[in-house]
Amino acid sequence: MSESTPPVAKRVPSTRTHHGDTVVDEYAWLADKEDTDTLAYLRAENAYAEKVTAGLADLREQIFTEVKDRTQETDLSVPARKGPWWYYARTVEGQQYAIHCRLSATSAEPPSTETGEALPGEQVLLDENELAEGHDFLSVGTFDVSPDGRLLAYAVDFDGSERFTLRVKDLETGELLGDEVPNTFYDTAWSLDSASLFYLTVDDAWRPYRVWRHQLGTAAANDVLVYEEADERFWVGVGLTQSERYILLDLRSKVTSETRIIDAAAADREPVVLRARKQDVEYQVEHQIAGDRFLIVHNDPEVGGGVNFAVAAASVDKPADWSPLIEHRDDARLLGLDVFDGHVVVHLRFDGLTGLRVYPSTVDGGWGEGREISFPEPLYAVDPDANLEYHTGTYRLSYASMITPRSVFDCDLATGELTLRKRQPVLGDYDPQRYEQTREWATASDGTRVPMSIVRRKDVPLDGSAPCLIYGYGSYESSSEPRFSVPRLSLLDRGFVYAIAHIRGGGELGRHWYEEGKLLHKKNTFTDFVACARHLVAQKWTSADRLIAYGGSAGGLLMGAVANLAPDAFAGIVASVPFVDALNSILDPSLPLTVLEWEEWGDPLHNADVYAYMKSYSPYENIEPVDYPAIFVETSLNDTRVLYHEPAKWVAKLRAVGAGDRHIVLHTEMEAGHGGRSGRYDAWRELARMYAWIVDTATR
């Protein structure tokens, strides 16, 4: 086969029948990862992608260099206080990964990070560059210092499969202990005496379902099974409260949750249910030493909760007896809270933007009037940052907008005064005054107004001539925030408009926004995105022949759906690790995470209406002989969340059925997982490859 000719996947008819509907799937054979024909096909696709984009090599290198030159490569994070130490991470020019460090705390003020260089007297806890030697991929799944500050639990994955090996390092001697546990998942929690470590393992469907307790100095074979979740809709997390008094076992489905607690000072006790699960009731828990009580963010209508959540309190002695503390509001979605000895900070979402509200709390558990932490820009994102110390009068937060780089502030909890600790350096001649961010509203087909966040250089004309990249996600109540991006400058400075479509299925406008874009309302996600694209053209932000759509994972499903729904609306589509074979995957409970997803997408295996609805929008099922836009697809062989064969099958069928002569390219990372390449330079090169394709497609 010539590398200049698109690969042609062989057709091997495979049939399935559900609810009286028989479907022929000619590319199901690509799901066999061990088949030499599968690997040969993926490599042929990579060769073809490289061939047809060979003319972009100089542009790729130029964009990579721009990203690199704008980044302060030797840099360090703002140190966060925990007991007698300042903890931080730093990077070194030329090195792919972070170095985790700490420094003895001799001052109440964090050390200066201005130069980005290593701090005098620092202790290196973990150098990821050393861990990565000899490997093409590295992911650190947990990084957890023991309460006494003497031990570090960390976990590593070398292929992107999200199966980690857990290890323990003695920070006083620098030696690795003999404690080693293979095949663990994210999350760990230490007992108060730093002698026991709790961790997670997954089942065959990659669902974290077991919590184990490991006694330091003993073999992993002797670890104690603390809890096993039998309901396949639920996954398990484990962690400590901010007070470090309790270990939390967080049991959660898409719409229901339950928390079990263990006294961290009595780690060998059985977990106690805080409140038994109740279908469609979600809650999350923190502990407050003042009043010795639990604070619960919840949506239980029987205790004053609602669709946008409320806060309740419960004594440690009677954890199932909740009393309302912060009322539910229709216009503000409560997201979570951070608890300290004298204050509680609530994270919330209001009018499409994130926010923080500070409540003073007295020793006896009294509750004061809340005060907002305010910011001047019309579009921004504010989030909790590293708050490691419970006994503190300072709150660490991060702030960014589409034109303001990530900025770390310390907030005085008593006065609300903000102190800027660090703003992400942007090297070169970046001037935020050259750019403008805007909120626009499109009107969906059912009349719903859909917000967009838009950024451009002020000198870019609004006459339809500007190229544009529109991004969307719209699932899992995950919100696409209007944040800053260094790589994005390579598009903006080439005259691009960049737009984020805050479509239904996300959480930007509260829980109802999510509920109107899931299950049997999922098509709203797709029609909202098309409405946003049409609005950009109608208002002359761009034109259809210069508009590129971009989404990944569940946002890749969005890309596949809008390609079928409105192929004329876009010059090109970028789909990263795309969930484009949704119906087949959700029909198969043996695949990773499928059963967990039934409360997000519906259960087509047992429900004929769900089956018919999903079949009507699943991208792979709805490819037609029409002129599709140019399509750029990227996936990873070891992805456990969206398996590589979904985009591989989709591309094969697009080539066989679709019309037109625009390029469809598929690139598969053969040594990576859901997040792509792991090293920062490798990730920048991966991004530069995509951005070069976007620039070329939108401006040709």
Backbone angles phi, psi at 595, to 5 degrees: -60, -35
3-state secondary structure of 193: coil
Active site residue 253: no
187 is catalytic: no
Q: Is 407 among the residues known to form the active site?
A: no
Distance (Å) of CA 644 to CA 471, 562, 667, 694:
22, 21, 10, 22
**Residue of 298, 639, 645, 678 marked catalytic:** 639
Residue 668 amino acid letter:
T
Three-state DSSP class for residue 89 = strand
CA distance 572 to 630: 5
d(CA 424, CA 442): 32
> Regarding beta strands 257-263 and 272-273, do their DSSP bridges make them parallel or antiparallel, or are they unpaired?
antiparallel
The DSSP output letter for 268 is T
Reduced to 3 states (helix: H, G, I; strand: E, B; else coil), residue 578 is coil
Which residue among 553, 576, 636, 678 is the active-site one?
Answer: 553
Please tell me the number of Cα atoms within 13 Å of 630 on its side-chain side.
22
Q: Tell me how far apart the terminal alpha carbons of the chain are, to the nearest angstrom.
A: 28
Tokens at 659, concatenated: 């019309």
List the one residue out of 483, 486, 482 whose CA is nearest residue 428: 486
User: What stretch of H or E contains 539?
Assistant: none
Tokens of 265: 């000072």
DSSP string over 42-55? HHHHHHHHHHHTGG
Annotated catalytic residue within 243, 250, 674, 678: 674
Q: What are the residues whose beta carbons fall under 8 Å from the beta carbon of 538, sequence distance 6 or more?
A: none
The two three-digit tokens of residue 648, written as one number:
């591989």
Residues assigned a catalytic role = 553, 639, 674
